[in-house]
Structure 1
Amino acid sequence: MAAPTLVMAARGSRDQRVVRVAQALKSELTRMRPEVDSTIAFLDSCLPSVVQTLDQLAGRGVREAVVVPLDLTHAIEVDPRFDGIVHQAAAQHPELRISVSRPVGPEASLLTLLDTRLRAALAAARVLELDGLILSSSTTGDVRGTALLARRARQWSTHHRLPCLTAVADGSGPSVAQAMQGLRSQGRRHIAVGSFFMAGDERWAVQAEQARRIGAVAVSDPLGSAPEVAELVLARYAFAAMDLLPFDEEGNFQSSDPAEPRATISTIAFTA
Structure 2
Amino acid sequence: MTAPALIALAHGSRDKRSAETITQLVDATKALRPDLRIEKAFLDHAKPGFHTVVDRLVRAGFDEIVVVPLLLVEAFHAKVDVPELVAEATTRHPGLRIRATEVLGLEPRFLEVLDERLREALSVNRVRELDALVLAAAGTTDPLANQAVARLARLWGAHHKLPVSAAYASAAPPATGEAVRAFRAQGRRHIAVASLFLAPGHLVDRASELALEAGAIAVSEPLGAHPEVARTILARYAVGAVELVPV
Q: TM-score range by the shorter chain?
A: over 0.9
For residue 61 of structure 1, report the CA deviation from its aligned partner: 1.6
CA distance in 2, matches of 1:108, 1:142: 21
Which residue matches 1:45?
45
Normalised to the residue count of structure 1, the TM-score between the two structures is 0.86
Secondary structure at the counterpart of residue 80 of structure 1: helix
Partner deviation per Cα, 1:4-60 (whole Å, 9 max, x = no partner): 111001011111111111111111111111111100000000011112111211122
Which residue matches 2:63?
63
Max radius of gyration: which structure? 1
> Structure 1 residues 238 and 77 mapped into 2: Cα distance closer, same or farther (>3 Å)?
farther
- How do residues 213-228 of structure 1 correspond to structure 2 at under 5 angstroms? 213-228=213-228
For residue 186 of structure 1, report the CA deviation from its aligned partner: 2.2
Partner deviation per Cα, 1:167-218 (whole Å, 9 max, x = no partner): 1111323210121122123221111100011001111011111211221100
Amino acid at match of 2:84: G
Amino acid at match of 2:243: D
Instruction: Tell whether the 8 Å contact from 1:73 to 1:106 is kept in structure 2 after alignment.
Output: yes
Partner deviation per Cα, 1:150-172 (whole Å, 9 max, x = no partner): 22211211121111000111132
- How do residues 54-203 of structure 1 correspond to structure 2 at under 5 angstroms? 54-74=54-74, 78-140=78-140, 142=142, 144-203=144-203
Task: Count residues in correspondence.
Answer: 247
For residue 77 of structure 1, report the CA deviation from its aligned partner: 7.8
Instruction: Tell whether the 8 Å contact from 1:120 to 1:220 is kept in structure 2 after alignment.
Output: yes
For residue 128 of structure 1, report the CA deviation from its aligned partner: 2.8
Deviates more, 1:116-125 or 1:182-191: 182-191
Higher helix share: 2
Which residue matches 2:9?
9
For residue 243 of structure 1, report the CA deviation from its aligned partner: 1.7
- 4+ runs deviating over 6 angstroms: none
Residues 1:21 and 2:21 are matched in the alignment: yes
Amino acid at match of 2:124: A
CA distance in 2, matches of 1:101, 1:75: 14
Q: Which runs of 5+ in 2 are unaligned?
A: none
Instruction: Tell whether the 8 Å contact from 1:121 to 1:221 is kept in structure 2 after alignment.
Output: yes
Structure with more relative contact order (C-alpha pairs < 8 Å, separation 6 or more): 2
Partner deviation per Cα, 1:209-256 (whole Å, 9 max, x = no partner): 121122110000000010100111111111111221011xxxxxxxxx
Secondary structure at the counterpart of residue 40 of structure 1: strand
For residue 141 of structure 1, report the CA deviation from its aligned partner: 7.6
For residue 142 of structure 1, report the CA deviation from its aligned partner: 5.0
Amino acid at match of 1:11: H
CA distance in 2, matches of 1:173, 1:42: 28
CA distance in 2, matches of 1:151, 1:69: 21
CA distance in 2, matches of 1:194, 1:82: 28
For residue 78 of structure 1, report the CA deviation from its aligned partner: 1.3
Secondary structure at the counterpart of residue 128 of structure 2: coil
